[in-house]
Amino acid sequence: MTDHEAMAALYKRLEKVVVPEAWEGMAADITAIRALKKEKNAVVLAHNYMTPEVYFGVADVTGDSLALAREAAAMQVDVIVCAGVHFMAETAKLMNPSRIVLAPDLQAGCSLADCITPQDVRALRTKYPDLPIITYVNTSAAVKAECDICCTSGNAKKIVESLGVPEVVMVPDEYLAQNVARQTSVTIIPWHGHCEVHEQYAPQEIAALRRAHQGITIIAHPECPPDVVAQADFSGSTVNMSDWVAAHHPRHVMLLTERSMSDNAAVDHPAIDFVRPRLSCPYMKLITLASIRRALETMTYSIEIEEAIAAPARRAVERMVAVK
């Protein structure tokens, strides 16, 4: 298949989720990125919140934070471009210390990662000297380095229970901690961080949605407030959401999470009506075809983590990956 034919076939898949005026520029970037990946022996890891042209156009691996961390550990390439936010690029680097890991835009942070510092964790350690500290993967490597084990929204309950203790501290997402606490007998002491996107969903919105769309299925990410999750039909990480949709094929569904996730799921499931959520993550949206192309052309921005931080942070991620 020629490049032109490949782009025409891709556009056919994406025509409902990309604006036609933008496609010519996107196709040029996708063709260039595909060539750069070959030239540099590079792969693109893309989070489920990437826009469809990134997700379907240039990604080699897609998934939730857990899948990206796991897959990053198995990459036999020279260069990994992380199409996601900064903590995801750091996690990829922790798992691939000898490879070049590129973050396309250093401004692509995360409100959860920004709401806790290593000093905060040390203060928690002083306050709760006997309790293990679990860090959500949405934190800096420096915070992970102070914690005992990492978790993601896809495995948080399993990680909490794997420690075999009656009480744990979990940072930084208060809502994730509260949502997990409802599913386990382990007492979870939370930190007070929130995702600036998911915290905006409110229970009244669910009631209004159910009135407006008869029979709609509502799926909420566990970063949503507990009173939202309690009213949803299912809650799980971004991959858990996709798997649930693939298994249950609801007729109308709304994924209460970042907006692009629904665009990508709608491409994969054309027979399902995805009611689009209103919110998108401003940090994830900084990662574009243009920034990925620039990253590969200039080989920037390379993630570097000093070993004094990387070694304990890696241990926290590896402990998580080892929990079956």
Residue in the block written with tokens 């570097």: 304
Distance CA(152)–CA(137), nearest Å, equals 5
Residue 153 binding target from ligand 13P, ligand SF4, none, CB below 5 to 8 Å by type: ligand 13P
* CB-CB contact of 238 with 152 (8 Å): no
Nearest residue (CB) to ligand SF4, 110 versus 254:
110
Residue 231 binding target from ligand SF4, ligand 13P, none, CB below 5 to 8 Å by type: none
Q: Give the shortest CB-284-to-ligand 13P separation in angstroms.
A: 8
**Class of residue 64 by CB neighbours under 10 A (exposed 0-12, middle 13-18, buried 19+):** buried
* CB-CB contact of 266 with 272 (8 Å): yes
Distance CA(299)–CA(40), nearest Å, equals 10
Question: How many Cα atoms occupy the beta-carbon half-sphere of 252 within 13 Å?
Answer: 10
Residue 288 binding target from ligand 13P, ligand SF4, none, CB below 5 to 8 Å by type: none
Rule CB under 6 A: is residue 260 a binding residue for ligand 13P?
no
Neighbours of 3 (CB within 10 A): 13
Q: Which of 223, 256, 260, 274 is close enough to bind ligand 13P by CB under 6 A?
A: 223
Q: Which of 138, 264, 288, 291 is close enough to bind ligand 13P by CB under 6 A?
A: 138
Nearest residue (CB) to ligand SF4, 109 versus 132:
109
Residue 57 binding target from ligand 13P, ligand SF4, none, CB below 5 to 8 Å by type: none
Name the segment binding ligand 13P (CB under 6 A); options: 93-101, 147-155, 162-170, 290-298: 147-155
Q: Give the shortest CB-65-to-ligand 13P separation in angstroms.
A: 3
Size of interface with ligand 13P, in residues (CB under 6 A) = 12
Residue 65 binding target from ligand SF4, ligand 13P, none, CB below 5 to 8 Å by type: ligand 13P
Q: Where are the alpha helices (DSSP H) in 50-194?
A: 52-57, 65-72, 86-95, 118-127, 141-146, 156-162, 174-181
Nearest residue (CB) to ligand 13P, 217 versus 238:
238
Q: Where are the alpha helices (DSSP H) in 135-258?
A: 141-146, 156-162, 174-181, 203-212, 226-229, 238-248
**Class of residue 138 by CB neighbours under 10 A (exposed 0-12, middle 13-18, buried 19+):** buried
Tell me the two tokens of residue 157. 């309950």
Q: Which of 149, 143, 145, 90 is nearest to 113 (CA)?
A: 143
Q: Which of 195, 228, 313, 317 is close enough to bind ligand 13P by CB under 6 A?
A: 195
- 3-state helix vs strand vs coil in the chain, percent to 5: 50, 15, 35
Rule CB under 6 A: is residue 288 a binding residue for ligand 13P?
no
Nearest residue (CB) to ligand SF4, 131 versus 265:
265
Q: Can you give the binding site for ligand SF4, defined by CB under 6 A?
A: 85, 110-112, 138, 195-198, 223, 258, 281, 283-284
Rule CB under 6 A: is residue 237 a binding residue for ligand 13P?
yes
Name the segment binding ligand 13P (CB under 6 A); options: 8-16, 35-43, 146-154, 180-188: 146-154
Q: Give the shortest CB-205-to-ligand SF4 separation in angstroms.
A: 17
Q: 210-220 b/e with 16+ CB inside 10 Å = b?
A: eeebeebbbbb
Distance from chain centroid for Cα 47: 5
In sequence order, which residues have a C-beta less than 8 Å from that of residue 247 and are 6 or more positions away?
Answer: none
Nearest residue (CB) to ligand 13P, 63 versus 293:
63
Q: Which of 238, 242, 264, 291 is close enough to bind ligand 13P by CB under 6 A?
A: 238
Q: Give the shortest CB-137-to-ligand 13P separation in angstroms.
A: 7
Give the footprint of ligand 13P on this chain (CB under 6 A): 48, 64-65, 138, 152-154, 195, 221, 223, 237-238
